[in-house]
Structure 1
Amino acid sequence: MAAKILLIEDEPWIRENVDTLLTLKGYQVVTAPTGREGLIQAMLNLPDLILCDIRMPEMDGYQVLEAIRNNRSLAAIPFIFLTAKTEETDVRKGMVLGADDYLTKPFTLESLLLAIESRLRREVSRQADIHGRLDELRSTLISVSNHEYNTPLSSIFGLTALLMDHYDEFNREDSIEMLSMIKASSLRLKRSLDNPKIWEELQQVPSMPTSFISGISRIDNEIVNQSISRINDRQDQKVNCQFDLESAQISLSETHLGIILEELIDNACKFSDGSHPIQLSGHLGEINYQLTISNHGRLFKPEDIARIAPYKQFDRKIYEQQGLGLGLAIVQKLLSLTRGSMVIESQPTGETSILVILQRELS
């Protein structure tokens, strides 16, 4: 199928000549005489590439480019300026706004075709890379989600069937133990279903805090105890954790503070070797609150810190891991939305520490 090119040019003779030449070369061409008309045509036709003049009345090429790059459905379309302006400041301005190339008038058919073909090839390569990554992510999601959903479901089904078929053969203590295992599996399954929803909600939040993310909560030993209790219920075992936190008011909703604490403590449990208790400490700064979570066990590689991303689990093929790989990504996103930050350090001795900076609510 022929590539579709949108030509935005206010000079009729240039517009008609370029239209004719590109059509003869097999391209499908849509034209517009003004910037505003060009934007409308871009949204209606979703071209594979845009050629646009800079100097146009009412809406110039820079404004067209800015509008294109701010539109989610159009933002990735290759954009080439056609211009008589060749000063470095003009070129720089266009590149800053996201232009892919410049052609200076008058240009030859050969240079026009080379510029178009080069950008279209790059776009094909980019799309192939995106599809490859999506296929890899889809495969990972299917594999991880099958494990995360089926493991607790198998436990729930198996234990429920056992209790139903042989209920009169178990004493009270055995029945309560199996019910506790069913509860733990149910909570694990709920978390596996909740975290993708939390991540998607956070993706819709603007870069500045909104009512969804903002609020005031108190960080202290009690809220840590609550987080540990939820993890205990989900894992059906006790978290070995020592903590001592200074109390403070935090510029973060209680719900989202709880998510941060639970995800970080859960992550520390997951990668701890059990030789040392998990350590939590919290200290007041002048304008922030510094929370540190430490554990002994598998090292967090320096290169992995920059690779924290949703559905990303490091060395999953080597180590058996629980979870969808969303915990640290959710924490990182929550912190970025509330002017907080997170620093991860691992020592050769096996100790990994996560320093979390939270914004205090100052009276």
Structure 2
Amino acid sequence: MPKILIIEDQLEVRQNIEDILSLEDYEVISAPDGETGLALAKQHLPDLILCDVMMPRVTGFEVLMSLRQDPNLAVIPFILLTAKADHHAFRQGMELGADDYLTKPFTIDELLHAITTRLDRHYQRQAMVESRLDNLRQQVTRSLPHELLTPLNGILGTSQLLINFYDSLSRNEVMESLHDIKTSGERLHRLVENFLLMADLDLLLASPTRLEVWQSRLSQYTELPLSLALVLENLGQNQPRRQDVEMMIVPQRVQVAEPDFQKIVQELLDNAFKFSLPGTLVQLEAVAKNGTCHLTIRDHGRGMAKEELNSIGAHVQFRRHEFEQQGSGLGLTLAQRLTELYGGKLAIASVPGEGTTITIQGWESDSI
């Protein structure tokens, strides 16, 4: 039985709505003012809230703002009630996150239709979130154990070697083993971070509270070429192929938060390194066209077959039985998701035996 909270300061209106909803088998909770309504919302976690706009002390807009700032209440469908058709108030309510708006006096059918529509959408969204969670659990169950075992085996095997033969190993051999342990540990750390980030991105659009956190980053900028130089510098600590990268960068400010920009480039470069031989050129270009950034990363490796391009998704590994490369296709999918989050589009063109070109277009940019 859906639970509905009514926040209305007019006793007669409140009681009329209570009677209507009770006859429709809804569980009804009511409050005579906004302050009491907020307390009842936190206590009962209703499935939907009907709230008057003009109330003393705490208005309906203030109730809505408080709810949207509370992670436990932010996704509850919220319908505003008003005694006048005020276009400005309507826009204000929608901008604050209201799901619908009813102008008094409204009919019983209008009330029930609004409630049914919002509840249906709310339940559909919940079902979508649960479906995504189930898919994510299945993907993690299938992929995570193997992906974790590869670097973990490196850590355990090399550390056991040190324990068994420490007295007979030279200083250089010990340092080399310690370096291998550190490299495997960094791979493991990055893999876990990628899985956690993918989980966040997978649920992002279905969760308004998560989306609000990310939206605060959407207005941030990254400066080129400085940010790309930092990516290469970080790669250089553990990636001997840094010298294979050739850059052609037009200075510009790109409307992507720097941590996300660097993550995208890092994953795309890592993909290029995995599927091309050491010593072969990897080209990185960033130019500005019509107020947008065009980023291209091109390798001259083995390329991808058509079925590989079609199967890009979380935890897909490209032809593992043929090419034993370390890592998973998760990084490429992360880059694609992050690119789209900032309004860009990632495209992949590949010719088997010749190489792969990944292009990103659509990010807003300013020249500097």
User: TM-score with structure 2 length normalisation?
Assistant: 0.66
1:346 aligns with 2:348: yes
1:139 aligns with 2:149: no
Q: For the Cα contact (< 8 Å) 2:264–2:338, is it kept in 1?
A: no
Letter in 2 for 1:17: N
1:243 aligns with 2:260: no
1:294 aligns with 2:298: yes
Cα 1:282–1:66, aligned 2, differ >3 Å: closer, same or farther? closer
Letter in 1 for 2:8: E
2:267 paired residue among 246, 263, 280: 263
Q: For the Cα contact (< 8 Å) 2:285–2:296, is it kept in 1?
A: yes
1:230 paired residue among 225, 238, 255: 238
What is the match of residue 55 of structure 2? 56
Residue 12 of structure 1 and its aligned partner are, at CA, apart by 0.8
Cα separation, 1, equivalents of 2:258 and 2:68: 37
Where do 1:202-221 residues align within 5 Å? 206-207=216-217, 218=226
Q: For the Cα contact (< 8 Å) 1:227–1:258, is it kept in 2?
A: no
Q: For the Cα contact (< 8 Å) 2:227–2:262, is it kept in 1?
A: no
Cα 1:245–1:154, aligned 2, differ >3 Å: closer, same or farther? same
What is the match of residue 313 of structure 1? 314
Q: For the Cα contact (< 8 Å) 1:259–1:331, is it kept in 2?
A: no
Q: For the Cα contact (< 8 Å) 2:316–2:329, is it kept in 1?
A: no
Cα 1:169–1:329, aligned 2, differ >3 Å: closer, same or farther? same
Aligned pair count?
Answer: 344
What is the match of residue 10 of structure 2? 11
Residue 48 of structure 1 and its aligned partner are, at CA, apart by 0.9
Cα 1:97–1:278, aligned 2, differ >3 Å: closer, same or farther? same
What is the match of residue 207 of structure 2? none
Letter in 1 for 2:75: A
RMSD of Structure 2 on Structure 1 (CA): 5.2
Residue 319 of structure 1 and its aligned partner are, at CA, apart by 5.7
Residue 105 of structure 1 and its aligned partner are, at CA, apart by 3.8
Residue 20 of structure 1 and its aligned partner are, at CA, apart by 3.8
1:100 aligns with 2:106: no
Provide Cα deviations, 1:140-184, integer angstroms capped at 9, x if missing partner.
234333222211112332344456557799999998876665454
Cα 1:354–1:84, aligned 2, differ >3 Å: closer, same or farther? same
Cα 1:253–1:352, aligned 2, differ >3 Å: closer, same or farther? closer
What is the match of residue 44 of structure 2? 45
Q: Secondary structure at the match of 1:347?
A: strand
Residue 279 of structure 1 and its aligned partner are, at CA, apart by 1.6
Cα separation, 2, equivalents of 1:220 and 1:18: 59
What is the match of residue 235 of structure 1? none
Letter in 2 for 1:230: N
Q: Percent identity?
A: 34
Q: For the Cα contact (< 8 Å) 1:263–1:327, is it kept in 2?
A: yes
Letter in 1 for 2:239: I
Residue 7 of structure 1 and its aligned partner are, at CA, apart by 0.5
Residue 129 of structure 1 and its aligned partner are, at CA, apart by 1.7
2:282 paired residue among 278, 290, 293: 278
Q: Secondary structure at the match of 1:230?
A: coil
Q: For the Cα contact (< 8 Å) 2:224–2:251, is it kept in 1?
A: no
Q: For the Cα contact (< 8 Å) 1:268–1:295, is it kept in 2?
A: yes
Where do 1:161-180 residues align within 5 Å? 161=160, 164-165=163-164
Gaps of 5+ in 1: 233-237
Provide Cα deviations, 1:202-235, integer angstroms capped at 9, x if missing partner.
986743789xx99999468797365244234xxx
Cα separation, 1, equivalents of 2:258 and 2:66: 38
Letter in 1 for 2:150: T
Cα 1:218–1:41, aligned 2, differ >3 Å: closer, same or farther? same
Letter in 1 for 2:43: L
Q: For the Cα contact (< 8 Å) 2:139–2:315, is it kept in 1?
A: no
Q: For the Cα contact (< 8 Å) 2:253–2:365, is it kept in 1?
A: yes
Greater shift in the superposed pair: 42-51 or 87-96: 87-96
Q: For the Cα contact (< 8 Å) 1:332–1:341, is it kept in 2?
A: no
Q: Secondary structure at the match of 1:294?
A: strand
Gaps of 5+ in 2: 202-209
Cα 1:247–1:313, aligned 2, differ >3 Å: closer, same or farther? same
Cα separation, 1, equivalents of 2:132 and 2:264: 28
Cα separation, 2, equivalents of 1:78 and 1:119: 6
Q: For the Cα contact (< 8 Å) 1:50–1:79, is it kept in 2?
A: yes
Letter in 1 for 2:327: Q
